[in-house]
Structure 1
């Protein structure tokens, strides 16, 4: 069975000559045009790899019943790509696989202000019981939330587009508990806390939190303190969390809206976010697809 295709640089789009493409035990080398062709006699899902000087080896598997044309985009050790930075943003410094969206999330902006009635006792001072107030959120808060949500295309190489945005008004006095926000799976709710225990315990309202995993099978939730909710950079930072960006311990090798103040989305954020969304969820360092995933 013949497999063929063209190997290109994922950053620049240029063809890669001299790359070794291996499926199972069969190998071929790309020509000056980046093209390869090889005969494969394996069955099932043999291993797949592409290696080239100056590039991180691409590793996956092939479905013998899948497409016979495979055009791998491989990641350079250069051209603006920084593996340490990528692993910082998306893989907990390389200790785990990526956790990105597999579909565009929807967002639900809560239009009542909230107060916190009870904090967690684990030392993190998270709000575990919150109550809706009579007061509505300021118009600026909703505008900033919508503007931040609009950045998800920029952060994902336009893999995530046209998110559905709705609003929700709670009856004053409604009490909600952490992890039980009444939000549907795959929807990220957005809350503005202006008074109460959480605001008092967390930098007088300057904190914010993406308080959930990135998941299509669970709801998501962002809460902003009274000051943080009116800060454009903080709103973009938390929306970044909702599509897979993170900031584990340590200092990143490049400037990022996940670490450097004031929070501003950088060209490095955009480049690495685009590559995140060109790889399957759970991608391992340096460029290995998770078990069970095939490249074709």
Structure 2
């Protein structure tokens, strides 16, 4: 029997540019199992390129030795599956021969890519965490905080982050659990002291501060006594004191605790005073 496996179906293109990582290894593993049990089977694996990284490269070499044939294709010359009578045929361009060939197939296996869950957008809004351009959740820093979000106390692992193998998911899940343990093991959680604060007498609820906050710590709400009036409210548990909202506020209603405008002005005035200060330095062997 002839089995044709086609990789990267619906992925690694303009709509889904990312690699799903597991597809090539799954194809190689399945081909290896089939050829070990039924060596007379002819297997063709059509691919853009094979990505069996790490120790999985050993499986790729073993499958080639068992007789599997790997044929590369490009985006402008994709394989085509059609039917003649009761028989399936796969038409593909052979780069070595420089011509189109037709392979009879008793079975065609399509390796479709992993896509982000449709609920990711809703979850991102609820937990106030970001998504990357592909629709997967985005960590705070790929090296320094690989399982953390910018939003404190929320962590990620597995396919929510990106396509990955089970062993990689387990490692990431353990890291996320360890990070969560550092928070829940404490009787109290200390928030940032130098956070943003709103002067409600000045704030007119224009809403400019809300979109500039990277931590989704600001919300524009209506006042209780006057619903037609709005004001900004800072979630002190989420605020990191970055100061972005303070710089964006046109009315000066946003200030940072410990760094109010009066304090900053006083620092500038002190730095620009004309008084001269003498600095005493000690030479070699002299006492200061």
Common topology (TM > 0.5): no
Higher relative contact order (CA 8 A, sep 6+): 1
TM-score, normalization: structure 2?
0.24
* Richer in helix (by share): 2
* Richer in strand (by share): 1
